[in-house]
Structure 1
Amino acid sequence: MDLFGQGTDTSPGTRSAVLFDFGGVLTTSVLAAFEQLGADLGCDPRLPLRLLARDSASGALLVAHEEGRIGELEFERGFAERLRAHGVAIDPAEPGVVRRIQSAMEPDRAVIDLVARVRQAGYRVGLLSNSLGDDCYAGFDLPGMFDAVTISGEVGVRKPSRRAYEIACERLGVRPRDAVMVDDLEQNITAAERAGLAGIVHTDAEATAAALKSVLRPSAQTP
């Protein structure tokens, strides 16, 4: 009997550790939160994400913030300017865009339970997250949940940089070839696989648990 209650597997996996993303994995969808921001601002719901992906100034602000070179307030001011440049009226008296995004994201209890189950079964678990906001992890006991925590704004490098995955594995005490990355963004999984990790594009807890069955080696806790 393995970690998730499945019977014998004729071709068990070889990985012994799992790195989880935060936003969109431990929480509800980040992409949906950005679309909610666009809707609340009265513009195309896809505009905020489109700017971050295609507008060089907006993208540079996000990278600088996620790498810890600018804080939440500076990012918000700069991004608000880019939104205004594209016809979006933002009232300075209203909450900043980061807090609006965070308020639209809720903990995903099923994934939080999955993290605990993986750890209890004897696998090492870590967090590798691109930070957004100065206090985006409030309400989560990350040191209590994980064996190692790697946050982009603290280490100065972000996914999909190869170095981000290397640092996370180093902190977890495993080699990239021994680890699995769970992330909701396909580009981050592609980068993880290039760095030697196995990758799982997260959609929901059940699907991720099923995918982990095929890549994790037999549990150290198996009777």
Structure 2
Amino acid sequence: MRREPTVDAVVFDYGGVLTTPGRQAVESWTRAEGIRPESFSELLREWVGGESAEDTPLHRLETGLLPIAEFNHLLAERLRNHHEEGRVEPEGLLQRLFSFMHPDEETLRLVAKLRRTGLRTALLSNSWGNTYPWEQLDGLFEHAVVSGSVGLRKPDPKIYRLLLDRMGLIPENTVFVDDVRANVTAARGLGMHTVLHRDATHTERALRELVGDLDKHDRR
């Protein structure tokens, strides 16, 4: 008989997990801004890809070392518009991207369900200088670690250990949910159970395999 692993807590990423998928938001943003999508994709590979340098503008933004206004100008300089004479307006550029990221109500309901079962929940997020809807999230998460506030970013193992230490958790009893494969791989390397998020249905199914019947233990 297969023994279910012991799970005390589930840790969630924010953007792309608790919100609109990142790809969907970026597609809407580039279309609205008239940005050539391939120019943003190329930039991401350079600034956050597996072989990127440690001090790229995006890394510095995520760790709180680069103000979002300055990042917006660096980003706008590298993006290409559909019109040769056109330029990408830097003022509020990332903020306009965030406007296309909306809460994923199904995943938020899943977090609430986990809390009702008695599982501990936490948030571990790489911030792009964005604000978080804390009035909505505070009741769902026991603790939150945001990269820009602690000077660390995923997939650096130190940021995972920081959250685990603050909550008194051990990796083997913790599940990490993220939509970025590199972040999931890093968590797994520490011994955490992991779920690569695609949508709420897939994630709930994966969590049920790890923690058992969520409905059975729902303490409403």
Question: Offset at 1:169?
Answer: 1.4
Moved more, 37-46 or 16-25: 37-46
Matches within 5 A, 1:1-223: 10-54=2-46, 60-83=56-79, 89-92=87-90, 96-135=92-131, 137-138=132-133, 140-216=135-211, 221=217
Contact 2:10 2:174 in 1 (8 A): yes
Matching residue of 1:6: none
What is the rounded CA distance, in whole Å, between the counterparts of 1:118 and 1:97 in structure 2?
35
Over aligned residue pairs, what C-alpha RMSD do you find?
Answer: 2.7
Distance in 2 separating the partners of 1:15 and 1:158:
24
1:173-206 CA distance string (max 9 Å, x none): 2111111110011111111101211110111111
| In 1: Cα distance, 2:146 partner to 2:12 partner | 11
2:4 aligned partner, one-letter code? P
Compare 197-206 and 138-147 and name the one that shifted more: 138-147
| 1:177 alignment partner AA | E
Q: Distance in 2 between matches of 1:203 and 1:140?
A: 25
Aligned AA (1:213): R
In structure 2, distance between residues paired with 1:28 and 1:68: 24
Aligned-pair CA distance for 1:89? 1.5
Q: 1:43 to 1:173 in 2, by over 3 A?
A: same
Unaligned runs of 5+ in 1: 1-8
Paired AA for residue 78 in structure 2: R
* Inter-partner Cα distance in structure 2 for 1:222 and 1:112: 15
Distance of 2:44 and 2:167 partners within structure 1? 31
Distance 2:100 2:187 in 1: 27
Shift, 1:84, TM fit: 5.5
Preserved contact between residue 35 and residue 88 of structure 2 (Cα < 8 Å): no
Gaps of 5+ in 2: none
State the Cα distance separating 1:85 from its structure 2 match: 10
Q: Is the 8 A contact 2:36 2:81 kept in 1?
A: no
The one-letter code sitting in structure 2 at the alignment partner of 1:16 is D
What TM-score results when the alignment is normalised by the length of structure 2?
Answer: 0.85
Instruction: Give, in whole Å, the separation in 1 of the partners of 2:87 and 2:21.
Output: 25
Task: Please give the TM-score of this superposition, normalised by the length of structure 1.
Answer: 0.84
Contact 2:81 2:87 survives alignment (8 Å): no
